[in-house]
Every structure is written in structure tokens, then in C-alpha cells.
Structure 1
Amino acid sequence: MSVATLASGAASAQDVSPVGAAARQAPSASGETALDEITVTSTKTEEKAIEALAGASVVSADTIRAIQPDRVSDILRQVPGVTTQEAHNDPGQAINIRGLQDFGRVNVLVDGARQNFQSTGHGANGTFYLDPELIGGIDITRGPVSTIYGSGAIGGVVSFRTRNIEDILKPDELAGVEQKLGGGSNGYGFVNSTSVGARLPNNAVSAFGQFVYRNSTASRDGGGILVPDTGSELKAGNFKLNINPADGHFLTFSALVQNFDFINNGSSLTGARFRSVVDAQTYTWGYRFAPTDNPLIDLNMKGYYTRTDDARTFVRDSANRTYGLLGARPGNQVNVDLDTVGFDIFNTSRFDTGAVSHALTYGGDGVFDDVRTRDAAGGYTSAFTPSGERRLLGAFVQNEMRYGDWLRAVGALRYDAYEIKGGAFGSSGDRISPRGTIGVSPFPWIEFFGTYAEGYRAPTLSETLISGVHPFPAFTILPNTNLRPETAHNLEGGVNLRFDNVLRDGDALRAKLVGFSNDVDNFIDSTSVPSSTLVPVAPGFPAALCRIVPRAPCAPLPSVQYNNIARAELSGVELEAAYDWGDGFASLAYTHTDGINAATRATLVTVPPDRLAGTLGFRFLDRRLTVGTRTVWYDARTNTPPNGTIPNTKEFALVDLFASYEHNDWIRADLTLSNIFDKRYIKYLDLDRSPGFQARGSLTVKFATK
């Protein structure tokens, strides 16, 4: 087991989604680490992550289990180049890669299905709902080298695999049940996970089901101060069916249903109070045809449907009565629904031309979003998250070439086309984006690589059609139907290091160092515009009356609008390393990112501060007992805009202790002591404080038959 690993488990023949099932592995007697496992997000073909010619990282199932997270952010904080934005009174998460986030710049997948939900407010403009107890592995590729995975991913791809039958059954087991009970202090609450799986002896059919219940309560920060409304209730079901009707043919079906119930008074903790019930559903179906006797055919077809329905009920107004003066009454409803239908079809043909071997991948994908907003409580939500439709279509071809053991090259082209419609407005566009990569390995233990890749992101409905007056303090937000798509130009270079038997027989050292420079032309950002509008300067005064009521409490204030800036420039360095010597392990991850508006030289708000994370663990009792510590240090960020919603943050460090004991194949106990020094802090991009000291423990019992 290691933390912040560079890979996930090998893809299973039964999983036709791009990210396959992670193998359940105990620590290897040879000292081999999870850094040698398989990743697929940068090329759609399987390769060891340490050999990926890109910034690729994956968190394994064992790492997730040891952390015992209650939010996705707990898992990702030790992955270089990746951070999150969250409101602790809302279970939703947003992912930031290399300073880019919001509106699909990071393509988030759950079992291969895109998660495109977005509701504009003070927080992130693009969130997804996924409880960590459902996650079986995470595969990450940073930068637009991963645009083969879908339109818009100029920041990167984060692909979540939910748990499946391989997570509870060994290869020789036919049926089993796994029961986990967990609990903790300071808001962690109670969690139950029940998993059941069964398969036929020849593996022709397998079925898996998981039920998760979580009940968390309000937490206190490191100063002992209660952070209101940080509790929630979750009920979730995860179901999968795999069918292998004949050699080379594989069918998969999955259904993930989550229901989150929580109440809060906005991201500022002082706004109007709403109760939210979020219904998040993901359904996938797939087919893979991979005959063993024909290397030209490895066909993957996936279709999916996702739905996120955020149903909010108005409970009471804020102190300035903003909603009440607009006619909102307790019980009024607000709904933000986003339905996504998508497909991904591709084939990989493997062949040789002389001394050069090829893996030629070609295919297409499509995404169809339908946004419906209904607002009977003030009208702000429907104004800031407009209804409409969006269509993204793409086609791609990629050739991975290898000459001997020392030279590799990847050449790829992707074609993107988009169309958005809302009311009487419509826009469209298209573009071809190239990628070229060279990898040179002068010695077996080192490989240098360099990449130039472009990415293309179309403007969204909200960026284009958002229109209304912000609640007090009031200002007008204007639509912009002339937005142009963003185009990313990414230069990236790195080195992969692989050493075995360094200090003792059987140990393993792996490291990946990556530097990048990503220039985004026509970057879309929220800016002030010269036009001014009469807006209220008194709480609750209706903006519509400013132009018709004499001596109204109004003043001309600048308006805000999404606009294209000439260029955003982002650059940085990422380091990830792990060493495993069998009786212990250590890992290190470092992130440095710079990002500016090239016209104003101002730092981009979404660029996080430097971060350094490390893990040290030891194994005892014939490697059945693992104990260790995780540490993460965040630099300060003190140059945020003075009138923005994101606060400056101070430098801080967090220290966790963890222990895991596997009594045998049937019983496992885990203990995590998080933030042991009870540090009081706000993580950059968050709007409220994270929990102070928190103890989390769980007991897992399994029964299986062969």
C-alpha cells in the first residue's frame, strides 16, 4: 500500500470502460509498489503509469481504504497538480488541475460517464456528487494531453471507478459479502457499506451490488468553533452486471444512484436558508470485442446517462430579507436539473511496420446536455443558471509508436464541434487539435519525454446567457453571446525514473518529474465592464424599481460579464515519487503552479498555492499491521482580488496518523487520526473552515465461498 500513487489497477477484460478494475493487492514481498500498475487516461490504451509520457497519477483502492475519507478532497490532497474547491455545507466537489477548473475544463468521469452538473453561485461553477465509500480507484491525467478523452478537457481528466466485484472477491472466489461499519468524531458521524457479489465458475456472468448509508453531523474547526450545516445524510446504491457470452465478447451494465439530503444558508453561511435534496444518477452500458487471434480489433463501445437534480426548498430568509422582498415564501421550490446522454466508441489496432510497432486508436464521442432550471423563490437561480441545451461531438485518431526499447512517439488529432441553444440564442463552432509526444530512454531506468498538445473548450450556457442582478450588495451580471471558445497550447516535458534493488533486494523506487507551460487563448473569465447600471445600495430593495422610483436608494455600479481575455498563461512543476522496501514505504508529492492574465499580469484566482505532501509507513506482524503518517504543507495565498469571494489563506501544515490491521482474509480494522494538532485553517478556494482534529475508525468483515 502506498499513498498518492501513480497508477490504478489493471483493466479487467470484464470492464469495457476506459478505467478498468483495480486489483486488490496486499503489499508485495518483492517491494513492488502500486506505481507499476496500469493507467489509461492519457492514451486510452493500457500502460504502466510510471511509463506514461504525461503527468499521470492514480489513487489505488488500498490507499482510499486507509484514508477513510468522508469527502473526495481527502483523497486528492496528496496528488500533485490536483486540488479541490468545496463548501463544507454541501457534499458537492469541484476539481482543479494545474490552476484550471469550472465549466468542464476538467473532465470528471464516473465509470466513464461525464459529470457536467453546474449551478452558478459563489462557489465552483461545476460540481459533482460522489461519496468516497463508493470509489474503487481514481485515474488522473493532467493537462490537455488527455483531450482524446473528450471535448473541453484543457485542464485534464479525473476518472473515478466505482467499486465492483473484484474489490470484494479474489479470483478463485465465487460469491461473497463484505460488511463495513465506521464512525468517528467531530462530524464524521456513521457510515455503513454493504457489498454483495457472485459469479459463475467460468466467469461468464458476474453481479455486484453495494449499499452505502452515511450520516454526518456539523463539525468544529481547529479553534473549537462550530461550522454550521456541515452535516448531511446519504443513501446510495451501486449495481453492476458483467456478461461474457463468448470468447472475446464482454457486456457491462451499471447503475449508481445517490441521494444527498442537507440544509445550509449559502456558501457564505449568512445567506438565505435552503434545504437541498440532490439526486445523482449514473447509468452505463458497454460492449467490448477483443478477439485474442486478431490484434487489429479491440473495439470498445460505451453509452451512458447521468442525471443530477438539485431540489431546494426555501426555509427562511437572510438577515437583509433579500428573498422575502422578492416574494419568496417558506416552502417555495428551486430546481436545477441537468441530464447528460453520451457515448464513446473507439477501436485500437496493433500491428508492426518493420521495426516499429503501432497501437492505432480511432473513434468518436458525443455529449448531449439538457439544463432545466425552475425557480419560485426569488428568481436568482434561474437567472444565473439558464436553461438550454448543449451538444459536443468529437472524433479522434492516435498512433502510439515504439522502436526498440529506447524510442516512443505519440501522434494524435482530435476534431471537436459544439452547439449551444438557450431561448432564442444559438452558437456553434469546431476545431482540430493536435498532439505530438516523444519519449527517449537511453538507459532502462530513465526515460525523458516531451509533448506539445492543444485543447479546445466551447463556452457554456451559463457563461453565455447568465443575466440578472446579484443579491445585496447588488450589481448587474450581463450575458455575452459573442464569447469565443478557449484554445489551450501546452508544452510539457518530464522524466520517469525506475529503480529496483536500490538499498536491498526486492525494493523499488519510482519517480516522475513534469514541467509544463500552458497558454490558453481566449480564456473566459468574469470581468467588470465599462457600462454601469443603477442597482440597489439598500438591502432588499428591488432592482427593477431603481429606474422608475424617484430618489430610490440606488447608485450606478459597474456591471460584470464573462469575457474572453487575450491569453491566460499557466506554468508549473510537479514531482511524485515513492519508495517501497517491503517492510515499509514512503512517498512524496510536490506542486508549484503559476497562472496569470497575460493582459493585466494579475494572478488567476483559481491558481492554488504551492503544496508538499509526504507519507511514511511501516509494516509489522508479517505485514498484517501497517502504521504511518501523512503530512501535507500548504503555502500562503495573499494576492486574491480585494472584492472577491475567495479569501486569502495563511501557510499551514496538517499531520495525520493511520493504522490498518488485517487479522486474516476476513477481518480488517482501520484507524485514522486526522489533523492531530487540531489546526484551524481554510484551504485555498474554500469559503469556510475545514474540521479540526477528527478520529475515524472502521471494521470490515467479509465472507466468501470458492
Structure 2
Amino acid sequence: MAVRGFDVFSSRSIRVGASVPSHTRGSFSKAALALTASAAALTLAGTAFAQETQLPGINVQGAQAKKASAPKAKPKPKPVQAVQSEPVSPVATDGGNQAAASDAPYNTPASVSVAGQGEIQTFGQTNVQDVLRAMPGVSTGNDPNNPGIAVNIRGFEGQGRVNMMIDGVRQNFRITGHTTGGFAYVDPLLLASIEVQRGAVSGVGGSGALAGSANMRTLDVDDVLKPGKYYGALTSLTWGSNGIGFSEMGAGAIRSGAISIVGAISKHDQDDYDNGRGQRVPYTDQDLISGLAKAHIQIDSAQQVSFGTVLYNNDFTANSYNQNIDSKIYTASYTYNPASNDLINFRAGFSGSDLKMRYLSGIGTASSGTGRTIEDLGLGFDVSNTSLFNLGGIAVKSNYGYEYYHDAVDALNSIDPSKGGGVNPSGKSTNRGAFSETTFSKSIFDLIVGLRYDDYNLNGNAVVDPHVPPYLPPNFPIPLPPGLELGNLHVNNSYGDFSKKFTLAAKPVEWFQPYVTWSNTFRAPSISETLVDGSHPASAFEPNFLPNPFLQPEKQRGWEFGFNSKYSGLFQSGDTFRFKGNYYTMDVDNYITASCDAMGLVCSFYNNVGTSKVEGVELEGAYDAGYFFAGLSYSHNHTTLPSQMDGLGLHSYLPGDITTITAGLRFFNERLTVGGRTYITGKSQKGDINVGPNEPLFYDGYTTYDLFSNYKVTDDIDLGLTVSNLTDVAYTPALSSLGTGNSPVETGRGRTFLLTTRAQF
């Protein structure tokens, strides 16, 4: 059941244009073949700590009710007890000195991927997007000028389609311009893990997430302290060629009695880099400083309170302006988990965020945006509880709760207030959601039932220029509602609906778990999509932009068929094999994109007419024999979604095929690790709306190679060497834009050497 309301006021009348049909894309001939491919290992990340197994919103289950969901010991009657699967052996690019990347994805009947700290520091020091792009079904909107992260899941990107989080805090910053529709900003040197869930999210973090979520967890006490230590430090010093220069990070932590504290600071000053042809890619420099502080207080054996802050400040050049990003994230949480009561495992979390994008000065002839500031003030909280009990012979784990988040966006110009935020609007949005996810475990079967009800409200003002041609987005109603006229608009929109997720998993043998999932989700229109207005800065002949208060929420429904496989001793005693795969299909209604009139003078966002289809295959796994490890990640994607329009967003089609292969060897009692990684990226669609006369319909595919090595000098000190783009390939990464204009050169980074000294003591 859906409930929707509008409260729209204006002062002059307007007309409605024609609808725009969806477009047909490609074929899906490779899907069946891909499901039969054999592989070993994507997740070759090194240091991944115990906290990396805690995936918000992910139900980690086996068919025999695993220990993670089994009730704690208590007086009879006792709930059905469960079997804990064996821990994964270390599969680490840093020599295997610590636990491997989380084994949780291979216990989870869902599309889940995790990258640990070792993988991030090996492959993501210069650009953490390389780590995300190595996950199946995942990519990023790439703007080489802008250091922000825009996660793409299965071809869905921007405007909140993927819920991007830092330490569980939503990153809802949106921007309208020559780039993707929103960024998250975090320093790779402060990251401990990245956790991505593709598809519907039933628990915390699922509100408004059409295609999935990505949580980037920063360093905490247990990431800095060695096991058994009460104080310690973690430091990293990196030098890189090709504009990288020096990067420094230092962290310290202490645990005393009931109190534990951690702090970290990082600095990175980077110059422009060269591509594979030796050509300078302009405006790719940045000057970053970031830090964090966290504290945990153990009140008693059942209760803990935690506080944290993550700070980020970066100067760079994008969208024709020298810009500054200043981001502050604040968190607080309380947990209550009494050992004597299986019905209570309670958590309450509170968060605040303040992100400012400042336009400091223009480059070239750009000047109208100088003085502009776009600020997003976010406030959120969530409460949840997990209960464990029995229904006869059925073990039950139920997680239920409520989440809320509010964003207040202010776009202004301190030099010329009349210019405001350009085409970036101000406004407020609120999302609320009640949710539950319950797992029923009996014999070899798990039935997971997820249900949530979410609603949103969007409030703000916009202006329809009375001098624009008589064009309006396709889904404006005809005739116009009484009182809706050309001029000033006040918009107060609301909507509410249910989202559901049902998964049936089985474990007929210990090493194999098939599952099937049906789900539906929706995403509310963003402030940027609804309230965009004004004209293109600095030109009287560029397009005018119209708001669209009649946008409907995007909706998807679909199936996923997948499996997990875990096996130890496959070829020799002590080796480990982990593998998972899935086929997904999604039907998408009301997909929001942008279009212009026939003259290209008036543009707006609109809901696509009809149903679009997205389907694909995703494979990932891990094999580790101690002295040898190898891996593969593979994605195949097909879509009939209409294209996002470059210039008012960014094309978001995944390449048809993406493969990442990693392999390595360990020597000298695993103190020395050497290996390589290959990225094979197929061609990708530009989108009909972005193709000019006589231009090709696809971006070219490309293949790049990385080498890596790590030597453990002592138990406390590691030396690492990485060579990215070994063969100096000239390419432009898929899903790329260049906010300062169309680049005359390929924007992929050329061959780059990184030398890292890392100490933990």
C-alpha cells in the first residue's frame, strides 16, 4: 500500500511536454555460460580484523542456524543450538600475518563483498575506487578531478540509489553538474574495511537504498592495537611516483580498564599525474588532511557507550573551480546485551554530519560560481534489537528497529547572493523507516523474512523562469492542478510504502549452500532532482533547468538465485576454497533521468515511462594454500535502463563484462609475498542521449596490470612495493567524467610506483 501527498504552490501557468520511452540495450547471451565458470578468489585482501565480520544490515546465516544467530546459554528450555563453521585461513597480500578478509560473505545467502585493510592499502592508497571496482557488480563514477567516491551497484548510481556510509553514517551530499549525482569523502589511509551489499537491505541502512549499500569503516581501537596489547601505534609512510609524492598516517590507541581510545591523523599532498602516453592529466592534484578520534566506555559486562568523529579537509580543482571540501562526521552509540537474556541485544545509534563544498576561485574564464557554498547538514538515529528464541523445533533470530535521517541542504553564494547555488537547489528531506528481518532455521533450511515500511518528506522552493520555452517534463499532469502556475514553486512532497525481502536457503552438505531471494525496494526523488532550477552559469544561451515536483519514486522488484561454497583441504591439507555466485534480475519502474527539449534549451528530470530490466551474473571466491593464493572476480551486466545525461549527472552503465584476477606466492615462512592483479574491463555504453553525430556508441574496453610485494622485516615492520598500470596503458576508466570539461587525453593514471613502510607496535 502506498500513500502519496503533494503541496505545490506557484503563480503562473505552464504546459506539459510529451513522454520519453525507454531504450533497448544489448543482449544477455553470456549469462548461462558465466554461471559455469570455475574460479578461485577475489578477496585477497590482507589485514582484515575481527570487526570486519560485523556487516550492518547483513544476515549471516548457515542452513543449520549458525552460532552467530544461536541463543546464548540460559536456563531450560534452551533454543536449538547451532554449529559454527570453521574460520577461514589467512588469505592476505601482506604476507598473511593477520586474519584474512572476512569469511562472512561466504556464510551469507546474499550478494555481499568485503575488502580488508590489507587490500585497501595495497590497491587503494592512490584511489580507493580500484578496490571497489574489484568487487563483482560494483564500480564507481570516476571524476579524476574530484577525490570523492560514488559507488555504482549493478548500474545504479547517484542520488541515493546506493546508500553510501562512513562508519554507518549516510553520506547524502548531492551535486548537480558535470559529474555524478553525489559523493562520499574519506581518506583511504584511515579505512579499515569496505562492506558492500548488493540488492535489498532489510535492516539499518536500507531506507531509500534502491540497489544496495556500501559502508566504509574507519580505524578503531582493535585495528591499531595488537592482540593482547593495552597500548600501541600504527604508522604508515608512503612515497609514490607520477605525482603521488609522500603520504603519512599515524594512529595511536590505548585500553585502560573500561575505557579504550584511538586517534589518527593523515596527510597527503598530490600533484597532477601523467597518463600512459606521458601526457599530463590536468587538475588532478589535491591537498588532503584528515583525522579521527573514537572512544568506548564499557559500563559493565552488558553495556557500552561509544563516541567518534571523522574529519576530512581537501583542496582540489573540479567543475572549472578551485574547490574545498570540509566534512565532519559525529557518532554516538549505546549497546545493551545481557548474557542472561536471549531476547535482548539492543543498540541505539546517533549521528550528525556537516559537509561543505566551497567554490574558491574559477579557472580560465569561469567566475560566476566563485563564492558558492553547498552545505548538507545531516542528522540521524537508529534503534534496533535482536531476539533469539524457539518456536517448537525452529530456531528464530529476529532483528527489528527504526531508523531516521534528515538532510538540510543550503546552496548560496557569499559574493553575489542573487546567484545562489547556481542550479544546485536548497531544501530539506526526511526519511523514516521501521524494519524487521527474521530468520527461521530448521534442519538444513533457513527462511529469512525481511519487511520494512519507509516514508519520506521533501520540502523546498524552486523557480520556473517565465521566459523559458513552453516545455515541461513528460510526467507533469495535464491539465495542471489548480494553483500550479509558472513562477515560484513551493514543494512539500511525501510518500510511504512497504519493501519486502524473502530468502530461502538450504545447506544439503556442509560445503554448499544454494539460496533464492525475491525483493522489492524504492527510492524517493532527491532534492537535486526535484528542485533543480535556474540557467547554466555564465551563459545566456545555455539550457534553462526546470524543477519537477511531480517526480514519482523509483521502484524495483526482482529475483536473485545464488550459492555459497566453502571447502577446506580441497587439494592439500590446510588449504581453503571459498566461492559464491549469483544471477539477478530486476524490473525497474519510474527510473529518473534527465532530458532536454528538441532545441536543447530547457532541461529537467523526469520519470521514464514503462518498465526497464536489469540482469546479470556475479562471481567471486578465494583459494589459499599458504604458499600460493589466487583469485577471480567476474561480472556480466545487461540493462534496458535509459541513460543518465552527461552534464546533468553522469552515464552509469556498467561495462558488459568486468574481470579481476589476482595471484601470488609467499616465501620464507610467509614473510615475503609477491603477486599481481589484472583488471579486464569490457566496453561500456555511452547512452544514446550522450552520443553525437558519427560518434561510437560504446567506450573502449581496456586491460591493466598491477604488481605488489610485501616483506615483513620484523614482527612490527612491513615494507611494501606496488606498481600500478605496469605496462603504462593509455585508457580512460569506465564511468568517467571530467568536471572541468571534456578531456583531450585519456585520464587513466599511467605507470606508478608506491613504496610503503608500515609499522605496528
TM-score normalised to the size of structure 2?
A: 0.80
Return the offset for 1:697: 1.1
Instruction: Please tell me whether residue 435 in structure 1 is matched to residue 473 in structure 2.
Output: no
After superposition, the CA RMSD in angstroms is 2.9
Task: Write the distance in 1 (CA, Å) between the matches of 2:507 and 2:89.
Answer: 29
In the alignment, the residues of structure 2 paired with residue 119 and residue 598 of structure 1 have an alpha-carbon distance, to the nearest angstrom, of 21
> Residue 398 of structure 1: CA displacement?
1.4
Question: Is 1:4 the equivalent of 2:62?
Answer: no
Distance 1:349 1:90 in 2: 44
Kindly state the Cα deviation for residue 568 of structure 1 after the two structures are TM-superposed: 2.5
Matched residue, 2:190: 134
Q: Could you tell me which residue of structure 2 aligns to residue 503 of structure 1?
A: 571
Deviation of 1:2 (Å): 7.3
Counterpart residue number, 1:334: 372
Counterparts in 2 of 1:212 and 1:588: CA distance versus 1, 3 Å: same
Structure 1 position 178, deviation (Å): 2.2
Cα distance between partner residues in 1 of 2:643 and 2:676: 44
Task: State the Cα distance separating 1:478 from its structure 2 match.
Answer: 1.4
Matches within 5 A, 1:335-484: 335-375=373-413, 376=415, 382-404=421-443, 406-423=444-461, 424-471=490-537, 474-484=542-552
Partner amino acid, structure 1, of 2:427: G
1:213 aligns with 2:257: no
Say which SS state the counterpart of residue 463 (structure 1) adopts.
Answer: helix
Contact 1:517-1:569 at 8 Å conserved across structures? yes
Answer yes or no: is the 8 Å Cα contact 2:653–2:686 preserved in 1. Answer: no
Instruction: Report the Cα offset of residue 179 of structure 1.
Output: 2.1
| Candidates 737, 746, 749, aligned match of 1:691 | 749
Letter matched to residue 616 of structure 1 = A
1:640-663 deviation digits (Å, cap 9, x = unpaired): 336469994212101000001112
Distance 2:734 2:49 in 1: 31
What is aligned with 1:580? 624
Find the aligned partners of 1:503 and 1:349 in 2 and give their Cα distance.
40
The structure with more strand, counted as a fraction of residues: 1
1:49 aligns with 2:117: no
State the distance in 1 between where 2:58 and 2:200 align: 18
**Cα shift readout 1:457-505 (whole Å, capped 9, x = no counterpart):** 1111111111122355622221111111111102111011111111100
In the alignment, the residues of structure 2 paired with residue 448 and residue 181 of structure 1 have an alpha-carbon distance, to the nearest angstrom, of 44
Deviation at 1:199, TM superposition (A): 0.6
Contact 2:732 2:748 in 1 (8 A): yes
Instruction: Please list the CA deviations of residues 253-287 of structure 1 after superposition, one character each: whole Å capped at 9, or x if unmatched.
Output: 111011101234x2xxxxx4x22111011110001
Structure 1 residues 437 and 128, CA gap change in structure 2 (3 angstroms): same
Tell me, yes or no, if the aligned pair for 2:661 and 2:679 is still in contact at 8 Å.
yes
**Number of the residue aligned with 1:536:** none
What residue identity is the alignment partner of 2:459?
K
* Residue type at the aligned position of 1:173: K
Amino acid at match of 1:651: G
Q: Match for residue 700 of structure 2?
A: 650
Match of 1:291 among 331, 338, 346: 338
Structure 1 residue 584: deviation in Å?
1.6
The code of the aligned residue for 1:568 comes to S
CA contact (8 A) 1:35 1:50 kept: no
Q: CA deviation at 1:420?
A: 0.5
Aligned pair partner of 1:485 in 546, 553, 563: 553
How far apart, CA to CA, are the structure 1 residues paired with 2:403 and 2:493?
A: 20
What is the Cα deviation at residue 164 of structure 1? 1.3
Of residues 273, 277, 289 in structure 2, which corresponds to 1:223? 277
Structure 1: which amino acid aligns with 2:326? D
1:76-225 equivalent positions in 2, closer than 5 A: 76-146=132-202, 148-200=204-256, 202=257, 204-225=258-279
Give 1:606's match in structure 2, choosing from 643, 646, 652.
652
Output the CA distance in 2 between the equivalents of 1:427 and 1:171.
52
* CA pair 475-656 structure 1, distance change in 2 beyond 3 A: same
Could you tell me whether the CA contact under 8 Å between 1:475 and 1:557 is conserved in 2? Answer: yes
* Alpha-carbon distance, 1:25 to partner: 9.1
* Structure 2 residue aligned with 1:662: 712
SS in 2 for 1:696: strand
C-alpha separation in 2, matches of 1:588 and 1:33? 22
Q: Distance in 2 between matches of 1:647 and 1:199?
A: 58
Does 2:114 correspond to 1:58?
yes
Aligned-partner Cα distance in 1 for 2:152–2:583: 17
Question: Could you say if the C-alpha distance between residues 639 and 459 of structure 1 is closer, same or farther in structure 2, counting changes exceeding 3 Å?
Answer: closer
Shift of 1:434: 1.2
1:515-554 matches, cutoff 5 A? 515-529=583-597
Is the CA contact 2:91–2:100 (under 8 Å) kept in the aligned structure 1? no
Distance 2:162 2:203 in 1: 10
Shift of 1:619: 0.7
- How far apart in 1 are the matches of 2:673 and 2:44? 17
Q: How much has 1:79 moved relative to structure 2?
A: 0.6
The 3 A distance-change label for structure 1 pair 672 and 24 is farther
* 1:277 paired residue number: 324
Size of the aligned set, in residue pairs, is 644
| Partner SS for 1:66 | helix
Deviations 1:178-207 (A, max 9, x none): 22111100021210001111111x4x1110
Secondary structure of the equivalent of 1:442?
A: coil
* Distance in 2 between residues matched to 1:497 and 1:6, nearest whole Å: 19
Matched, 1:563 2:606: yes
AA aligned to 1:110 is I
The structural deviation recorded for 1:18 is: 6.9
Following superposition, the deviation at residue 118 of structure 1 comes to: 0.9
Q: Secondary structure at the match of 2:281?
A: coil
Q: Which residue of 1 aligns with 2:68?
A: none
Name the SS for the 1:62 alignment partner: helix
Q: In structure 2, how many angstroms separate the alpha carbons of the residues matched to 1:317 and 1:631?
A: 38
Tell me: CA distance 1:357–1:234, structure 2 relative to 1, closer, same or farther (3 Å).
same
AA of the residue aligned to 1:348: T
**1:514–1:575 CA contact under 8 A, matched in 2:** yes
- Tell whether the 8 Å contact from 1:359 to 1:401 is kept in structure 2 after alignment: yes
1:412-442 CA-to-partner distances (Å, cap 9, x unmatched) read 1100010000022110010011111100122
C-alpha separation in 1, matches of 2:130 and 2:446: 36
Within the candidate set 267, 282, 302, 1:248 is matched to 302
CA contact (8 A) 1:146 1:157 kept: no
| Aligned residues of 2:45 and 2:119 also touching (Cα < 8 A) | no
**How far is 1:147 from its partner?**
6.0
Out of 357, 361, 367, the position equivalent to 1:314 is: 361
Determine helix, strand or coil for the equivalent of 1:171.
coil
2:408 & 2:556 partners in 1: Cα distance?
A: 26
Whether the 8 Å CA contact 2:561–2:582 is kept in 1: the answer is yes
CA distance in 2, matches of 1:614, 1:125: 30
CA-CA distance at 1:57 after TM superposition: 0.4
Note the residue ranges of structure 2 that are not aligned, 5 or more in a row.
1-39, 60-86, 462-489, 645-649, 739-746
CA distance in 2, matches of 1:225, 1:665: 42
- Is the 8 Å Cα contact of residues 396 and 415 (structure 1) preserved in structure 2? yes
Uncovered stretches (5+) of structure 1, i.e. residues with no partner = 39-47, 267-271, 533-555
Give the secondary structure class of the aligned counterpart of 2:699. coil
TM-score (norm 1): 0.86
Q: For 1:16 and 1:456, how far apart are their aligned partners in 2?
A: 22
Q: In structure 1, what is the equivalent of residue 478 of structure 2?
A: none
Distance in 2, matches of 1:436 and 1:177, equals 45
1:549 aligned residue: none
Structure-1 separation of matches of 2:52 and 2:756: 28
8 A contact 1:3–1:59 mirrored in 2 = no
**CA 1:661–1:209 in 2, change beyond 3 Å: closer, same or farther?**
same
